[in-house]
Homo-oligomer: A and B are copies of this chain.
Amino acid sequence: MKKIKKYHQIQEYIKKRIQTQKYPPDSYLPSENEFCVQFGTTRTTVRKALEELLKEGFIAKEQGKGSKVLERGKYLGLLSVKGFSGSTDYKVKTRVTVEPKVVEWDPIIGFPLSEDEKSSKCVYFQRVRYIDDKPVVLENNWYALDALEPIRSEEFVEGSFFKTLSQEYLIEIMGAEQELRSVPASGDIAKKMGITVGAPILHISIRFRTSRPNLNLYGDLYCNTTDYPIRNSYFL
């Protein structure tokens, strides 16, 4: 018999409302006292729930005003956890160069697969990101077919795979491991990125852990950092 934590229930309730846009971005949540009445509890418990959502990056708190719903989950590490879309201010165009399809696992994936994943086929798709009509990032993605059905790229919410996971499937990114290398561009990559063969390019392998136990998302990114270096900032 598992103990249900009240603050966790409230936390999940609010999170789901945010994900389904019942509490839309930039709006303010009901006040702490209103949640107290709604859930028949005290501010201590409501505040604990809100604090968890703060840590998860779903809300921001403003003293004297309220708790504001944030646009996206917080970012940490090299890239936004919501993928490339959220990591730059420039206008990014995305072209799906390989539609999601079921294939065998590609040995290029830089992480060991679990037994469950190995025994499953996988869904693969490839996208290229453009800034000012110049290709800047080539991105390969894989995930186990057994863990999640293939999603057609036309169904991506606002063109974002991660937004789709969050809003349509209620799957959240829990964390990630990344590996970065500076490598010479291969002929294939150079062609797709419009650069010369052997030019230095940033290669990033990523494994995203998700809130769905058996679902990992694998990514393989090639970034032309000549004009647009990767930026990130963090604070403690």
Q: A residues within 8 Å of B by Cβ?
A: 55-57, 73-74, 76-78, 81, 172-184, 199-202, 209, 223, 225-226, 229-236
Contact = CB atoms under 8 A, between A and B. Distances in A.
Contacts of A172: 236
Given A200-B200, A202-B202, 12 more contacts: A55-B236, A56-B236, A73-B236, A74-B236, A76-B234, A76-B236, A174-B235, A175-B235, A177-B233, A180-B225, A182-B223, A182-B225
A78 B200 CA distance: 19
User: Nearest 3 pairs between A and B by C-beta?
Assistant: A175-B235, A200-B200, A182-B202
Contact of A78 (B57, B183, B225, B232): B232
13 contacts: A76-B234, A76-B236, A77-B77, A78-B78, A78-B232, A173-B236, A174-B235, A178-B231, A181-B202, A182-B182, A183-B200, A183-B225, A209-B235
A230 B181 CA distance: 7
A180 B178 contact: no
Contact of A232 (B57, B177, B209): B177
B200 A184 contact: yes
Interface majority SS on A: helix, strand, loop or mixed? strand
A233 B182 contact: no
A230 B98 CA distance: 28
Given A76-B77, A78-B78, A236 B180 contact: no
A234 B181 contact: no
B225 A176 contact: no
Contacts of A174: 235-236
A223 to B, nearest CB: 7
A147 B230 CA distance: 29
A61 to B, nearest CB: 15
A232 B178 contact: yes
Contacts of A209: 235
A122 to B, nearest CB: 22
B81 A236 contact: yes
A223 B182 CA distance: 9
Contacts of A225: 180-183
